[in-house]
Amino acid sequence: MKSISFFPVVGLIYNRYHKASDSKDAVIEVRIYYMGKAKWISTGIRVFPKEWRNDRIVGRGDAMQLNRQLDKIIADVRQVVYEMYEEGQIELGAIPSRLLAKRKPALMLLDFCRRRAEIRKHGIAKDSQERYDRFLTFLEGYDAIRTFYDLNEAKVMQLDQYLIGKKMKAKSRWNNYHRFLNSFILDAQKEGLIQKNPYDSVKIDHGDDSDGINKFLFPEEFAKVRETKMSCERLEKVRDLFVFQTLTCLSYVDLAAFTMEKIREVDLAQVLAGRRGKTNVEYMVPLLPGAVEILKKYNGLPYWRNGKSLLTNQKYNKYLKEVVKEVGIDRPVTTHWARHTGATLLLNLKVPLQIVSKVCGHSSTKMTERIYAKLLDRTVVQEVMAVKDKL
């Protein structure tokens, strides 16, 4: 049941300021009257008084064409008003913006999102900027959502089902797709292009950190990766890079920013220090012997030259699939597994949580605990079973 008692009256009005004459034309406007208030919207069509009779343009060679334009404008305004009525709230001030989105094919959702993305990307980390770009690329190829009028509950649910059909987990669906679309919808609401946010009424599963808790290698699996002889130099370099990344708990973004200048000596130990590209939080990683050996082996890092990566994240992931296949591990390992694997190895070796938090560059130990605490179940089982006889 709608909460609106009265439906707005929509019609045409000419010469509202009574300034038209035989030598001066005036504009034709659409008037929307609702609850004692009126909103006027210019049609952009100007005529002389003798050319306007009974709400129609007469006495001109282009009268038929102009009247069709007026009919289309009136129909569009009434459609916008009806949609507001269906949404349960009529806001006269928002009608021009919504009408503009309806009447101008150029003002499509994708165009709006591109404009807003440039604003949202300003001053944020490069990898976060790239996530906006990836979403816009997806939206460009996704035919089910094209205009602001596609932003409704049915389309949001359709998008979610599409992503589910792609075997995406809830956290990935939300973080990489729904979250971005929702942010652009909020921007559109502020500009008056839409009134209702479909995400307010459609429940989308955001997932939780348990979606990612299996994205790490167990100690014996990591040992196999380190020890297995690779079939070619290319895969050996990729394997060594993954081992270095694991032993330093670096993300790909921070790995890509690695230079030997970031290594300094602290208490006779070599330490890698910097700021995370994603959060700008400082991290400090004492280099373990295995990491130092790899740096010595390649005089830096494999596939890195003059402080620049010669291996994209996508290609790195592709080669990693070959590495784990040779090792005999049937799991979808990616570069992000290295960071998780390194952190959980440290935690399982009883390195204090606050130390692991500093190594990972987390803003607080709460973040470290939230992300990795569930990964310690295996250690809990081992610790309890080790004392079972004493109990």
Q: What is the pLDDT of residue 192?
A: 75
% the chain with pLDDT above 90: 39
Nearest Cα to Cα of residue 10 among 87, 99, 86, 102: 99
Confidence check: pLDDT of 350 > 80: no
Q: For 217, which DSSP code?
A: -
- Residue 32 CA to residue 249 CA, distance in Å, equals 61
Q: What is the pLDDT of residue 30?
A: 95
Nearest Cα to Cα of residue 191 among 101, 314, 70: 101
The mean predicted confidence, pLDDT, of the chain is 84
Whether domain 109-207 has CATH 1.10.150: yes
pLDDT level of residue 55 (50, 70, 90 thresholds): very high
Confidence check: pLDDT of 152 > 70: yes
Q: Which whole number is the average pLDDT over 149-153?
A: 83
pLDDT level of residue 228 (50, 70, 90 thresholds): very high
pLDDT (tens digit, 9 = 90+) per residue, 98-113?
887 666 544 468 888 9
**Maximum Cα interatomic distance, the chain, rounded to a whole number of Å:** 108
Q: Which whole number is the average pLDDT over 223-244?
A: 94
Q: What is the pLDDT of residue 12?
A: 96
Q: What is the pLDDT of residue 384?
A: 56
Least reliable range by pLDDT among 46-50, 190-194, 250-254, 375-379:
375-379
Nearest Cα to Cα of residue 46 among 86, 88, 75, 17: 17
Where along the chain do its domains lie? 9-103, 109-207, 219-384
Residue type for position 389: D
Least reliable range by pLDDT among 60-74, 92-106, 114-128, 277-291:
92-106
Confidence check: pLDDT of 147 > 50: yes
Do 109-207 and 219-384 have matching folds? no
Long-range contacts of 114-120 (CB under 8 A, 24+ apart): 116/184, 116/187, 117/184, 120/183
pLDDT (tens digit, 9 = 90+) per residue, 210-223?
555 567 888 889 99
Q: What is the pLDDT of residue 61?
A: 87
Q: What is the pLDDT of residue 1?
A: 40
pLDDT (tens digit, 9 = 90+) per residue, 243-263?
999 998 888 888 888 888 888
Q: What is the pLDDT of residue 174?
A: 92
| Among the four given CATH numbers 1.10.443.10, 1.10.1270.20, 3.40.1390.20, 3.40.50.300, the one describing domain 219-384 | 1.10.443.10
Long-range contacts of 365-374 (CB under 8 A, 24+ apart): 368/343, 370/209, 371/209, 371/212, 371/343, 372/340, 372/343, 372/344, 372/347, 374/209, 374/210, 374/213
Q: For 150, which DSSP code?
A: G
Buried/exposed 110-134: b ≥16 CB within 10 Å, e otherwise: eebbbebbeebbeeeeebebebbee
Confidence check: pLDDT of 48 > 70: yes
**381: how many CB neighbours lie within 10 A of its CB?**
10
- Residue 153 CA to residue 201 CA, distance in Å, equals 7
